[in-house]
Amino acid sequence: MSWRRQLSKLRKLFNRQTPADLNEEMRAHLQMEEDENRDAGMSSEEAHYAALRRFGNVTLAAEKSRDMWRWHSIEILLQDIRYGLRQIWRSPGFALSAVLTLMLGIGANTAIFSVVNAVVLRPLPYPEPDKIVAAYLVNPRDPAFRTSHGIADFEAAHDRQKSFSSFAAVEQGASYFTWTGGKEPVQVPGTAVTAEFFSVLGVSPALGRSFAAGEDVPGREHEVVLSHAFWQQHFGSDPLIIGRTLTLDGASHTIVGVMPAGFHFGVRDNDDLWPLRQLPTPRIRPPYFLQSIGRLKPGVNEAQAQADLSNIAADVQRQFPQSEYGEARIEPFKNLIVGEARMPLIVLLGAVVLVLLIATVNVANLEIAQASARDREMAIRAALGAGRGRIARQVLTESILLAALGGILGLLLAYGGVTLLRALAPGGLPRLKEITVDGQVLAFTAAVSLLCGVLFGLAPLMHGFGSRRNQAETLRGGAQNLNEQRERRGLRNALIILEVSLSLVLLVGAGLLLRSFERLTNTSPGFNSRSLVSGLLSLPKARYPKEQHIVAFYDQLLERIQHLPNVTSAGLTLSLPPDLLNLTNPFFVPSQPPSPGMSPPVAVEISVSLDYFRTLGVPLLRGRFFTDSDRGRPDGILIINNTMAQRYFPNQDPVGQRIKTGDVSPDTPWEAIVGVVSDVKYTGLDSGPEPTLYVPYFERGWTSFSREMFLVVRTSGDPKALAPALRAAVQELDSNMPLADIHTMDELLSNSVAQPRFRMLLITIFAAMALLLAAVGIFGVMAYLVSRRTREIGVRMALGASRGNVMGMVLGEGLRIVLIGVAIGLVEALALSRLIKSWLFNVQPVDPVTFLGVSLMVIVVAAWACYVPARRATKVDPIVTLRYE
Amino acid sequence: MTPRKQPEQRIELVYGTLDMLILRTLRWGPTHGHGIAKAIERMSDENLKVEHGSLYPALQRLQQEGWIAAEWGVSKTNRRAKYYRLTSAGRRQLLNETSRWERFVRAIAGVLGGARSEEAK
Report ipTM for this prediction. 0.83
Give, as one character, the DSSP assignment of residue A835: G
Q: What is the mean pLDDT of residues A126-146?
A: 88
Residues 6 or more apart from A364 whose CB is under 8 A from it?
Answer: A455, A456, A459, A460, A495
Q: Evaluate if residue B2 carries a pLDDT over 50.
A: no
A386 pLDDT band (50/70/90 cuts)?
low
- CB contact at 8 A, B20 and B96: no
According to DSSP, the residues that pair with A639 across neighbouring strands are A675, A694
User: Which of A131-145, A418-432, A481-495 is predicted least confidently?
Assistant: A481-495
pLDDT of residue B3: 47
Q: What residues in chain A have their Cβ under 8 A from chain B's Cβ atoms?
A: 2, 4-5, 8-9, 19, 21-22, 24-26, 28-29, 31-33, 35, 40-41, 54-58, 60-62, 64-65, 67-69
- CB contact at 8 A, A723 and A533: yes
Measured distance CA(A130)–CA(A294) in Å, rounded:
11
Domains of chain B: 7-120 (1.10.10.10)
- CB contact at 8 A, A535 and A742: yes
In angstroms, the first-to-last Cα distance of chain A is 56
> What is the SS3 assignment for A136?
strand
Distance from CA of A48 to the nearest CA of B (A): 14
Which residues of B fall within a CB distance of 8 Å from A13? none
Going by C-alpha positions, the residue among A284, A286, A313 that lies closest to residue A172 is A286
Measured distance CA(B101)–CA(A882) in Å, rounded:
73
* A and B: number of Cβ contacts within 8 A: 80
Q: Which residue has the higher pLDDT, A488 or A116?
A: A116
Q: What is the mean pLDDT of residues B10-16?
A: 66
Predicted TM-score (pTM) of this structure: 0.73
Q: Which residue has the higher pLDDT, B120 or B66?
A: B66
- Residue type, position A848, single letter: P
pLDDT of residue A289: 85
A140 pLDDT band (50/70/90 cuts)?
confident
Q: What does the longest C-alpha to C-alpha distance in chain B come to?
A: 61
Going by C-alpha positions, the residue among B32, B57, B58, B68 that lies closest to residue A25 is B32
**Mean model confidence pLDDT for chain A:** 86
pLDDT of residue A103: 93
pLDDT of residue A424: 79
Measured distance CA(A461)–CA(A473) in Å, rounded:
18
Per DSSP, helices labelled H in A91-241 are 92-116, 151-160, 197-201, 228-235
Interface test with A, best of B82, B84, B87, B96 (most A CBs within 10 A): B82
Cα separation values, A462 from A81, A404, A483, Å: 22, 22, 14
Q: Evaluate if residue A619 carries a pLDDT over 50.
A: yes
Supply φ then ψ for residue A564, to 5 degrees: -70, 150
Measured distance CA(A108)–CA(A101) in Å, rounded:
11
pLDDT of residue A646: 93
Interface contact flag, A68 B57, Cβ < 8 Å: yes
Distance from CA of B63 to the nearest CA of A (A): 9
Measured distance CA(A549)–CA(A812) in Å, rounded:
82
Interface contact flag, B63 A40, Cβ < 8 Å: no
pLDDT of residue A642: 94
Q: Which residue has the higher pLDDT, A172 or A416?
A: A416
The string over A491-514, giving b where at least 16 C-beta atoms fall within 10 Å of a residue's C-beta and e elsewhere, is bbbebbbbbbbbbbbbbbbbbbbb
pLDDT of residue A481: 52
- Residue type, position A349, single letter: L
- CB contact at 8 A, A617 and A527: yes
pLDDT of residue A436: 85
- CB contact at 8 A, A84 and A385: no
Interface contact flag, B52 A19, Cβ < 8 Å: no
Measured distance CA(A637)–CA(A642) in Å, rounded:
17
A23 pLDDT band (50/70/90 cuts)?
confident
Chain A residue with Cα closest to B33: A29
Interface contact flag, B33 A29, Cβ < 8 Å: yes
For chain A, domain boundaries: 3-70, 141-325, 343-521+754-884, 544-733
User: Is the Cα dihedral A520, A522, A525, A526 positive or negative?
Assistant: negative
- CB contact at 8 A, A164 and A197: no
- Report the percent of chain A where pLDDT is more than 70: 93
Which residues of A fall within a CB distance of 8 Å from B10? none
Distance from CA of A75 to the nearest CA of B (A): 18
What pLDDT, in 10s, does the model give residues A476-522?
A: 555 555 555 666 678 888 888 999 999 999 999 999 999 999 998 88
Which residues of A fall within a CB distance of 8 Å from B7? none
Per DSSP, helices labelled H in A799-885 are 803-832, 848-874, 878-884
Which residues of B fall within a CB distance of 8 Å from A33? 34, 52
Interface contact flag, A28 B32, Cβ < 8 Å: yes
According to DSSP, the residues that pair with A673 across neighbouring strands are A638
pLDDT of residue A616: 94
DSSP string, A11-31: HHHTS--TTTTHHHHHHHHHH
Distance from CA of A489 to the nearest CA of B (A): 49
Tell how strand A273-275 and strand A223-226 pair up: antiparallel
What pLDDT, in 10s, does the model give residues A866-881?
A: 888 888 878 877 777 7
Measured distance CA(A842)–CA(A524) in Å, rounded:
13
Residues 6 or more apart from B90 whose CB is under 8 A from it?
Answer: B23, B26, B62, B66, B67, B68
DSSP string, A436-447: ---HHHHHHHHH
pLDDT of residue A466: 47
Q: Which residue has the higher pLDDT, B10 or A726?
A: A726
Distance from CA of B29 to the nearest CA of A (A): 18
Measured distance CA(A336)–CA(A752) in Å, rounded:
21
> What is the SS3 assignment for A847?
coil
What pLDDT, in 10s, does the model give residues B51-71?
A: 888 888 888 888 888 899 888
- Residue type, position A324, single letter: E
Supply φ then ψ for residue A628, to 5 degrees: -55, -30
Q: What is the mean pLDDT of residues A775-799?
A: 82
What pLDDT, in 10s, does the model give residues A554-574?
A: 999 999 999 999 999 999 999
Phi-psi region of A339 (alpha: psi -120 to 50; beta: other; left: phi over 0): left
Q: Evaluate if residue A330 carries a pLDDT over 60.
A: yes
Supply φ then ψ for residue A563, to 5 degrees: -95, 5
What pLDDT, in 10s, does the model give residues A734-783?
A: 888 888 889 999 999 988 888 888 888 888 999 999 999 888 888 888 88
User: Is the Cα dihedral A213, A218, A219, A224 positive or negative?
Assistant: positive
Distance from CA of A72 to the nearest CA of B (A): 14
- Report the percent of chain A where pLDDT is more than 90: 40
According to DSSP, the residues that pair with B31 across neighbouring strands are B84
Interface test with B, best of A9, A39, A65, A67 (most B CBs within 10 A): A65
pLDDT of residue A86: 85
Which residues of A fall within a CB distance of 8 Å from B33? 25-26, 28-29
Distance from CA of B48 to the nearest CA of A (A): 13
Residues 6 or more apart from A447 whose CB is under 8 A from it?
Answer: none
